[in-house]
């Protein structure tokens, strides 16, 4: 899409359209959401491992 916009705007100043900016923001949101999910998964694993370790040490 960006290339098409560049070709379409070749006589005018080539600037990304609003749609391209919106897609970029969506990409950033997706990246941040994926990062958040990865961090949450790691934290859950650490907490679960710690709880299991504590439980086994306490004879439960």
- pLDDT tens across 2-55, in order? 555 555 555 555 555 667 777 888 899 999 999 999 999 999 999 999 999 999
Domain-located, residue 50? yes
Q: In the block, which residue shows the tokens 């990304």? A: 16
What pLDDT, on a 0 to 100 scale, did the predictor assign at position 23? 80
Domain-located, residue 37? yes
What pLDDT, on a 0 to 100 scale, did the predictor assign at position 30? 93
What pLDDT, on a 0 to 100 scale, did the predictor assign at position 59? 77
Split into its structural domains, the chain has a count of 1
Q: How many residues does the chain have?
A: 60
Q: In the block, which residue shows the tokens 């790691």? A: 42
Domain-located, residue 1? no
What pLDDT, on a 0 to 100 scale, did the predictor assign at position 7? 55
Instruction: Give the three-class secondary structure for 32.
Output: helix
Domain-located, residue 10? no
Residue ranges making up the domain that contains 44: 24-60
Domain-located, residue 31? yes
The pTM score is 0.56
- Which DSSP string corresponds to 25-50? HHHHHHHHHHHHHHHHHHHHHHHHHH
Q: What are the tokens at 19?
A: 């749609």
Domain-located, residue 33? yes
Domain-located, residue 51? yes
The Cα 22–Cα 12 span in angstroms is 21
């Amino acid at each position: 899409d960006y290339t098409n916009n560049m070709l379409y705007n070749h006589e005018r100043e080539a600037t990304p359209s609003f749609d391209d900016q919106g897609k970029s923001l969506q990409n950033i949101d997706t990246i941040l959401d994926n990062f958040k999910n990865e961090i949450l998964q790691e934290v859950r694993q650490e907490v679960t491992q710690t709880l299991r370790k504590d439980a086994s040490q306490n004879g439960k």
